[in-house]
Amino acid sequence: MKKRLTNPVFIAAFVGLAYQILVKYGVAPDFGTWQIVVDLVSYALIGSGVYSTFKETNK
């Protein structure tokens, strides 16, 4: 399940679907703002994934 949810194609499809639903109900931000939010969330997820690969060193 985790592999499927982290598939970039699935994430892109889900984000597109979410935006279309927001547009349908009239609560969607403009596309530029939406894109910035999606980018920030993506960068946070990528950063946390990279950070989790570091080994903790105890002194």
User: 54: exposed, middle or buried (C-beta count within 10 Å: 0-12, 13-18, 19+)?
Assistant: exposed
Return the domain boundaries, the chain.
2-51
* 3-state DSSP assignment of residue 30: coil
- Residue 27 phi/psi, 5° resolution? -115, 10
| Per-residue confidence (pLDDT) for residue 59, from 0 to 100 | 63
| Per-residue confidence (pLDDT) for residue 43, from 0 to 100 | 86
| Per-residue confidence (pLDDT) for residue 27, from 0 to 100 | 93
Q: Write out the chain's pLDDT in tens, 59 residues.
A: 777 777 778 888 888 899 999 999 999 899 899 889 888 988 887 887 777 777 777 66
